Amino acid sequence: MAKVAEKMTLKEKLFEKIQAHRPRTAKLNKEFGSVLIDQVTIAQAIGGARGIRSLVTDISYLDPEEGIRFRGKTIPETFAALPKVPGSEYPFVEGFFYFLMTGDVPTMEQTLAVVEDFKSRAQIPQYVFDVLRAMPRDTHPMTMFSAAILAMQRESNFAKRYAEGMTKMEYWDPMYEDACNLMAKLPAIGAYIYRIKYKSDTPIAPDPKLDLGGNFAHMMGIGKPYDDVARMYFILHSDHESGNVSAHTGHLVASALSDAYYAYSAAINGLAGPLHGLANQEVLGWCQGVFNKLGGKLPTEEELKKFLWDTLNSGQVIPGYGHAVLRKTDPRYVSQMEFCLKHLPDYPLFKLVNLIYKVAPGVLMEHGKAKNPWPNVDAQSGVIQWYYGVVEYDFYTVLFGIGRALGVLTNITWDRALGYAIERPKSVTTDMLEKWAAEGGRKLS
Ligand code: CMX
């Protein structure tokens, strides 16, 4: 007899959703495969494939004006809908994972089942700690994080099952197992890197009573409300549709049927770039530079304008500003700003970040290059971390990386469920571009 929906595990629910979704993808592919959805210009071919509609995901969608929606919900709607950790302002990360995977808002009971499931998967093999310990302590924490994930590849269910032989229809199952096993471990790996690198080698063991966000705060050694900061931070950074470098890298690598460990380690390497996730580290460095130059005092608007122009004139970007898709202030920025207004309204670094928000868009507009002069997620995130004592700002992108796993791992599970193909776009040569430019375009057909 079929199990009642509320009693289904996340995995059973996911399978039900996969079975319902597969005919939609198959029909589109078979009956409407030749329907045109976009065309490509020379500028797009040279300019990083910007805006070309050639990826499919149902996990999140980024509207240039509105910002991100997770499974159809805006950030405030997402936070309002999901079951909250008792005594906390923010939802369980585990419930959010359920929501991303299935598109359904879980009940408290379903959420707690994922909390328990993740706990049963959270144990980290000793060799991972040994690998991290063998690395020089001045290694960038993103390199350590990526190496730890890659080191665990031998644990992959997907790789084992693939070697034994399984049908395409089964791929999603071991990919889901790998996704959950990895997601359950990442917070502890991140906190371990933090404690050995910056806190005199004093790792803190997990507390089995706590949820993912609470446990992360505990293992970082930081009291309340840092548990809520962790929950908010991981959810906000989880997904930003498929084309950004980390999500796209995860999708690309997994499309070769590389497992979740290979794919997510690669995604982390992309996130480590200063034009992507590393921008949060750069923002804090930039702000501290301003404070240092002014002996710790807040700049006036005029002084700040000069700092911004100096940065632009030296050929650098204003970190935390601009976006490849967004054309307004990032709602992830707004969500963190609201947290700051509630918890740290008078904090000098928050005041500086607000002042930058007032001044930088005008400077960028006058500069005339950036298509979007408004702040992105990275412009605000470091302030909160700094306030709660995480002042080692080269660690910030690891926090991003723990959150981003929620989206990437969900996406690659669905990629396998829907049988998405190995990714292989076609390249052309400069000679060809010049020929087509002279002819007014490539003759199609
Ligand atoms: N400061 C200065 N110049 C900027 C700028 C900024 N913040 N944002 C864009 N520009 C420049 C670009 O470098 C580009 O210059 P060139 O024509 O000389 O190459 C020009 O404006 C046009 O760029 P764009 O189309 O507006 O932006 P892109 O889609 O090419 O790049 C992004 C998007 C995010 C890489 C870019 O805005 C940037 O470098 N921002 C600063 C770094 C940052 O905050 N990254 C984090 C993004 C969020 C995330 O992924 O975490």
Using one digit for the tens of pLDDT, what is the confidence trace for 92-151? 999 999 999 999 999 999 999 999 999 999 999 999 999 999 999 999 999 999 999 999
| Phi-psi group of 362: left, alpha or beta (phi > 0 → left; psi -120 to 50 → alpha; rest → beta) | alpha
- Mean pLDDT, the chain, as a whole number? 97
Condensed to tens digits (0 to 9), the pLDDT of residues 163-217 reads 999 999 999 999 999 999 999 999 999 999 999 999 999 999 999 999 999 999 9
Environment class of residue 32 by beta-carbon count within 10 Å: exposed (0-12), middle (13-18) or buried (19+)?
A: exposed
Query: Is 276 one of the annotated active-site residues of the chain?
Result: yes
Indicate where the chain has its CATH 1.10.230.10 domain(s).
Answer: 279-387
Residue 1 clears pLDDT 70, i.e. is over it: no
| Superfamily of the domain at 1-24+49-276+392-437 | Citrate Synthase, domain 1 (1.10.580.10)
The bridge status of strand 67-70 relative to strand 60-63 is antiparallel
Cβ-Cβ contacts under 8 Å for 183 (sequence gap 6 or more): 97, 118, 405, 406, 409
Give kind and range of the element (H or E) at residue 444.
none
Nearest to 92 by CA among 10, 12, 9, 210: 210
362 by DSSP, 3-state: which? helix
Tell me the CA–centroid distance for residue 65 and ligand 1, in Å: 17
Q: Which residues contact 397 (CB under 8 A, 6 or more apart)?
A: 141, 142, 271, 272, 277, 278, 280, 281
Q: Where in the chain is the domain with CATH 1.10.580.10?
A: 1-24+49-276+392-437
Q: Say how many Å lie between the CA of residue 176 and the centre of ligand 1.
A: 34
CA-nearest residue, atom 9 of ligand 1:
370
Report the residue among 321, 327, 332 best suited for mutation to probe ligand 1: largest number of ligand atoms under 8 A from its CB. Answer: 321
Q: Is 375 helix (H, G, I), strand (E, B) or coil?
A: strand
Q: What is the pLDDT of residues 19-43, one digit of tens each?
A: 999 999 999 999 999 999 999 999 9
Distance 368 CA to ligand 1 centre (A): 12
Q: What is the pLDDT of residues 423-436, one digit of tens each?
A: 999 999 999 999 99
In this structure, the residue with its CA closest to atom 45 of ligand 1 is 275
- Residue written as tokens 């940065």? 311
3-class state of residue 68 by DSSP: strand
Tokens describing residue 266: 């690669």
Displacement of CA 209 from its chain's centroid (Å): 26
**Which numbered atom of ligand 1 lies nearest the CA of 324?**
29
With beta carbons less than 8 A apart as the criterion, state whether 379 and 357 touch: yes
Kindly state if the Cβ of 322 falls inside 6 Å of ligand 1: yes
| Interval between CA 370 and ligand 1 midpoint (Å) | 6
Check whether domain 279-387 has CATH 1.10.230.10, yes or no: yes
Q: What does the alpha-carbon distance between residue 132 and residue 136 come to, in Å, rounded to a whole number?
A: 9
Any atom of ligand 1 within 6 Å of the Cβ of 279: yes
pLDDT band at 4 (very low <50, low <70, confident <90, very high): confident
Structure tokens at 280: 């949060």
367 noted as active-site residue: no
Q: Are 99 and 106 in contact (CB under 8 A)?
A: yes
